[in-house]
Amino acid sequence: MEMNGDNILEARDLLVSFSTYAGEVQAVRGVTFDLRRGETLAIVGESGSGKSVTAKSIMRLNPEANTIVGGGEILFDGRDLLKLSEKQMQRVRGPQIAMVFQDPMTSLDPTMKVGNQIAESLRKHLGMSRSRARERSVELLKLVGIPNAEERVKQYPHQFSGGMRQRVVIAIALACEPQILIADEPTTALDVTIQAQILDLLRELQEKIGTSVILITHDLGVVASVADRIAVMYAGKIVEIGTVRETFYDPQMPYTWGLLASIPLPTADRSQDLIPIPGSPPDMSDPPKGCPFTARCPYAMQVCPTEFPEYTVFSAEHKAACWLHHPMAPNVEPPVRIRGTR
């Protein structure tokens, strides 16, 4: 399958839904994006926007029983991950694509020594002997900055703090030096000071190993410091995508404006109030036909609820889906607070 040489992963028109008692919930509705070699792509959105589902779809880790992949493809290494057999997929998970989860308190097996949890993938994918895997586990723990690693490998997860556990999870993810690391809200469950440490660690390791990273988060502050590009997701769709500079300083979609206007900036003038986004995201078991943000958008027009807008391209990297960019639409300026940051 054809892939752009710069890209390590391409998602095309991904459709994922879940069958629940309340009906079919359409979590991801036609998501398309590329991941370049060595870059960090952030996928930003509120809870329920489909960002985690997108991430888990790449690993094919959504619950088998009720997940329906309605269409699309995820190209990696010239192959469509969605078409691989479970056996083939097992060889991708770990050595090719690895994942760090949101809650370090629950993502380690409480009954297994930390060292063995790291060694598991070393033994499976790299065919290491028991003793070699043990040595390597110690090295990995050192790499992720866990002091006294020789002793720590023999301990159980409950003997680690949250931040330390997340380091262990990162060590597990990086054990086989994967080409892609998917970090699903890796800092959300941690204290702010620990968050910074974990982000620094991720960035440092990325440089060392040269992994591409997909960073899932709802925290724009996190994004600014580590990502190269940002994809903003809303109601199962990417509504804006661009480099960090472009999305932060020249956002083109009212939802992105809303997101940016709702982060408190220490430099901002006190007279500029934080502007919350009114309302809440639509019900995904019956998603709106048109632009899903219409109901909350202060600039909504008659056309908005009728049809999802096409993407308007602003630069090689930057595009957004919004009817305001149609030539017939009135000219609208972003709110003062956003303009102020330009």
Partner 1 sequence: MIRYVARRLVYMVAALFIIVSVTFFISKALPGTPFANPKLSPQVREQLFEKYGLDEPLYVQYVKYIANVAQGDLGNSYYFEGRSVSELILQRLPVSAFIGVQAVIFGLVIGMVLGIVAALWHNTVWDTLAVVVAILGVSVPSFVLGPLLQYWLGLKLGWFPIAFFESWIYSVLPSLALSVFVVSTVARFIRTEMLEVMGQDYITLAKAKGLSGLAVIIKHVLRNAMIPLVTVMAPLTIYIITGSLVIEQIFAVPGIGEQFVQSVLVNDYSMILGTTIFFSVLFIVALLIQDIMYGIIDPRIRVSGAKE
Partner 2 sequence: METRHRELDPSLFESATIDAYEGERIAGPPVGFWRDAWIRLKKNRGALISLAVLILVFATAFVIGPLISSQSPYTQDLSQRYLGPTSEYWFGTDKFGRDMWTRVWAGTRVSLYIGLLAALMDIFVGVVYGAVSGFLGGRVDDVLQRGIEILNGIPYLVVAILAMVVLDPGILTITIAIGLTGWTFMARIVRGRMLQLKNQEFALASRSLGASGFRLVWKHLIPNSLGLIVINLMFTIPGAIFAEAFLSFIGLGIQVPEASLGSLISDGAAELRFHPYLLWLPALVFCLLMICFNLLGDGLRDALDPKMRK
Instruction: Read off φ and ψ for residue 292, nearest 5 degrees.
Output: -65, -15
Task: Scan residues 137-156 and list those touching partner 1 (CB under 8 A).
Answer: 155-156
Q: Least separation, in Å, of the C-beta of 171 and partner 1?
A: 12
Question: To which residue do tokens 């069958």 refer?
Answer: 19
We find the least distance from the C-beta atom of residue 278 to partner 2, in angstroms, to be 4
Residue 71 in contact with partner 2, rule: CB under 8 A: no
Q: Which residues contact 265 (CB under 8 A, 6 or more apart)?
A: 341
Closest approach of Cβ 162 to partner 1, in Å? Answer: 12
Q: Is 330 in the site for partner 2 (CB under 8 A)?
A: yes
Task: Name the binder of 172 from partner 1, partner 2, none, CB < 5-8 A by kind.
Answer: partner 1
Size of the site for partner 2 (CB under 8 A): 30
121 is an interface residue for partner 1 by CB under 8 A: yes
d(CA 100, CA 34): 20
Tokens 């639509």 correspond to 282
Which residue, 103 or 317, is less far from partner 2 as judged by CB?
317
Q: Which pair of structure tokens corresponds to residue 90? A: 């097992």
- Binding window for partner 2 (CB under 8 A); candidates: 80-88, 156-164, 226-234, 306-314: 306-314
Determine, following the binding rule CB under 8 A, whether residue 237 of this chain makes contact with partner 2. Answer: no
- Nearest distance from C-beta of residue 111 to partner 1, angstroms: 5
> Which of 82, 99, 198, 231 contacts partner 1 by CB under 8 A?
99
Our finding on whether 132 is near partner 1 (CB under 8 A) is no
| Residue 215 token pair | 């960073």
Fill in the per-residue mask, 260 to 289: x = in contact with partner 2 (CB under 8 A), - = not in contact: ------------------xxx-xx------
Indicate the DSSP class of residue 178.
-
CB-based contact 117:141 (threshold 8 Å): no
Considering the rule CB under 8 A, would residue 20 count as an interface residue with partner 1?
Answer: no
Q: Rounded to whole angstroms, how far apart are CA atoms 336 and 278?
A: 18
To which H or E segment does residue 167 belong? helix 162-174
* 237-243 vs 319-321, strand pairing mode: antiparallel
Separation between Cα atoms, residue 326 and residue 331, nearest integer Å: 10
Contact 138, 150 (CB under 8 A): yes
In 4-160, where do the E strands start and end? 7-20, 23-36, 40-44, 67-76, 79-80, 97-100
Point out which residues pair with 40 in neighbouring strands: 213
Nearer to partner 2, 88 or 306 (CB): 306
Using CB under 8 A, pick the residue from 1, 112, 274, 313 that binds partner 2: 313
C-alpha distances in angstroms, 238 versus 88, 113, 309? 29, 40, 12
* Interaction partner, residue 94 (partner 2, partner 1, none; CB < 5-8 Å by kind): partner 1
With CB cut-offs between 5 and 8 Å by kind, which of partner 2, partner 1, none does residue 303 bind?
A: partner 2
Nearer to partner 2, 225 or 280 (CB): 280
Q: Which residues contact 63 (CB under 8 A, 6 or more apart)?
A: 18
303 near partner 2 (CB under 8 A): yes
Among 8, 25, 59, 144, binds partner 1 (CB under 8 A): 59
Per DSSP, what are the bridge partners of residue 183? 100, 215
Local structure of 23: helix, strand or coil: strand
Which chain residues interact with partner 2 by CB under 8 A? 278-280, 282-283, 294-297, 299-306, 310-313, 316, 319, 323, 325-330
Q: Which residues bind partner 1 (CB under 8 A)?
A: 59, 61, 65, 86-87, 90-95, 98-99, 101, 103, 106-112, 120-121, 124-125, 155-156, 158-159, 169, 172-173, 175
